[in-house]
Amino acid sequence: MRYWCLLCVALLFAACSESESSVCGTDTDCKSDQTCSDGVCVTPSRAECTGDPDCDTGEQCIDKTCRPLARFDMGADVTMMPDLGQPDLGEPDMSQEDNINPEVVSITPANGTIDVATDTVITVTFSEDIDFVTVNFQSLVLKNPAGQDVPATVTYDQATRTATLTPTEPLHVATAYRVSPSANIRDEAQNSLKTTPSPDATFITVLGVPDDHVALAAEFAPAIFQSIETPTGGLLNNDLPTRVNFDNNWIARDNKSTARLGSTVIKASVYYSVVESKTHYFLTYALYYPMRRDKNASVLYEHDFTGIVMVVDKATRSIKVVEGLKVDEGTDTIIAYKPNTSDTSSTGPQNLESFDPADFVDGRYPLMITSGSHEACNWVKSGPTLPAICRHEVREFSEGPTDGVLMRPGAAQTFAQAVDNTTTNIKEMEYELVPLGELWARRSFVGNDLLWEKVSVYEPIDGRPAKYNDTEPIVWPNRLVSDDEMSFGKPPFAWLKLASETNQATVAVRPVLPADGALQFWHRLQQRVLPQRVSVG
C-alpha cells in the first residue's frame, strides 16, 4: 500500500514537472521530439515525414518532422511601418502609334503661277519627316501637256522636309506643267501622302516672244473696221473682239451669259502670233467674240473666232497676201486678198482679189469684220468672186455706212471710249495686241469648267523639222467649251483651209513648205520657204 502511494506521488511529481516543462516560447524550450504550439510543447502526430502530404492539416514537413504551420501576427500598426516610397518605374511612355498621313505644305512654283522661267527648279515641302527612299522620280513627277513625265532628278533634304525636282532640260515656253506628288511618298511610319484633295500644282512658263516679233506684230497690225450690230437688248458686246478671259476667269462655258449682262465691260483685244521662215513672216491676227449671231434666224451661239494670216516678204518688208477667215462648224471659209503689186498667185481653186495699197489706213491693212457672223473681209472690196460672203458695200459697214468703229492697235479700250471722227462720221478707238501664246500655254486646260472641249495630237508631216522633239506628242485644243449644240470657238490651232487638209495645228507649231500643198491656212506662195523661227506669241 505504501508502495502504490509512493508510486502515485512520483507520477504526480513527474506530471507536474512535465506540465511545467511543457510551457514554451519556441521549439527550443521543448524536447527534441516536441514542438512549441500555442505556448505548449506538444508531440507531433507524426514524428517522421518525407513531405507535407505526410503531415496532418495545419502542419508542414520540416527536417523530416511534421511541425505546426507558423503563425503570423497581421495586427501590426501600419502607421509604424517605414515609408519605402514609390518604386522607380522611369518616365511613362505617353507616345501613340503614328497613323497620320503626311501632307504637302507648299509647292514652288505655286499653283496658278505664270511667267515661270524655263530653267526653274521645283520644290515640294511636307508636313512631317518623310522616308527619303520613297521620294524619287517615280513618286514626284512633272507632267507636260501630253501627260508625259518630264525627265528630271529628284532629291530630298531631311532637315527642311523639302524635295527638289530639277528638269534635265529647259522647259518649253508658253507651256503649262503640272507637279504631281503621289501617295507612294511615305513618312517614316510608312503612312502614305495625303492626296485628297489633290496636292498637284500647275504653273505656266514664260511666253517667250522675241522682241522683234512683238515689234513686227505691232508694225503690221491691221486697221480694223468693226461693223457693230444695232444695239438692241444689250447685245452691243456681241461685236467687239476681246480676250477669251474677258471676265477674268478661264472658264469658257459662261462667256455668252456674262457678255450679255448690262454690267459687263468689254475691252477690245486681238491675239497675234508670228511664224518666221528664212524668206517670209507669217503673222496671224485672231479675233475672239463671246457670241456669234445668225442674222437669218437671230440665234446667238457661244464663242466665235475669226482672223487673218498675213504673209510678209522679209527682203522688201511688203505684204504678199492676206487671207481672211470665216469660222464654220465644218470647213472654214477663206477669203483671200493681195495687193495689186504682189506677184503671189493661187495654185488651187481659191481666187485672189486685189486691192490698192493706197487704200491702207495710215499704212495699215484695212481689215473689215462684219457684224454677227464676223467674216474677215477687206474694207475696200465686198468680197472675192468665190466665195462672195462679205456682206457689205464698198467702204461701208455691213450694218450701214457708219454703223461701226475703226480700231487701231494701242490700248485696250471699251466702246464707250470711242470718239467720233467728224470727217468720216465713224467712231474710232484702240485695241490691244495679246500674244496668242496666252491661249497656247493653256492648251491642256481641258474640261467642262475650264477652257477646251478636248485636245488632239499634232502629227507632223514626214521630213519636216518641228519645234518639239519627235518623241514628244504635241497636243492642241480644238474648240472652246460650250453648252450650245453648235460652237464656232475654234482657235487658230484648229483652223482648216480645205476639208481634205486635216493635219491641223501647223499655225501654232511651225511653218511648212506651202508650194507642195501642205499649208493649212496660208496661201501657196510661188517661192518655197523653209522653217527658221517659230513663235506662238
**Three-state SS at 466:** coil
Enter the DSSP assignment of 480.
Answer: B
The pLDDT of residue 22 is 66
Which are the contacts of 351, defined by CB distance < 8 A and separation ≥ 6? 336, 384, 385, 386
Question: If you average pLDDT over each of 243-247, 314-318, 337-341, 502-506, which comes out highest?
Answer: 243-247
528 or 391, higher pLDDT: 391
Q: Rg of the Cα trace of the chain? A: 49
Residue partners of 408: CB distance under 8 A and separation at least 6: 221, 223, 224, 361, 362, 364, 428, 430, 431
Answer for the pair 289, 242: CB distance below 8 angstroms, yes or no.
yes
Contact 29, 23 (CB under 8 A): yes
What are the φ/ψ torsions at residue 390 (nearest 5 degrees)?
-75, 110
Q: What is the pLDDT of residue 502?
A: 47
pLDDT average, residue stretch 404-423? 94
Q: What percent of the chain has pLDDT over 70?
A: 71
| Confidence check: pLDDT of 302 > 50 | yes
* Higher-confidence position of 432 and 301: 432
How confident is the model over 175-210, as pLDDT tens digits? 999 999 999 999 999 999 999 999 999 999 999 888
Q: What span, in angstroms and rounded, lies between the C-alpha atoms of 379 and 457?
A: 37
* pLDDT for 88: 57
Of the pLDDT bands very low, low, confident and very high (cuts 50, 70, 90), residue 78 is: very low
Find how far residue 536's CA is from the centre of its chain: 22
Q: What pLDDT sits at residue 34?
A: 74
CA–CA separation, 381 vs 335, rounded Å?
Answer: 11
Tens-digit pLDDT profile for residues 240-270: 999 999 999 999 999 999 988 888 889 999 9
User: Which among 221, 413, 400, 418 has a CA at the least distance from the CA of 322?
Assistant: 221
Question: Between 343 and 460, where is the model more confident?
Answer: 343
Looking at per-residue confidence, does 66 or 95 come out higher?
A: 66
Omega cis (within 30) before 109 = yes
The pLDDT of residue 526 is above 50: no
Residue 522, all three cell numbers: 496660208
Cβ-Cβ contacts under 8 Å for 414 (sequence gap 6 or more): 265, 266, 267, 268, 429
Q: Please provide the size of the chain in residues.
A: 537
Average pLDDT of span 489-493: 87
CB 337 within 8 Å of CB 384: yes
Element (H or E) spanning 497, and its range? none
CB atoms within 10 A of CB 152: 17
Three-state DSSP state, 8: helix
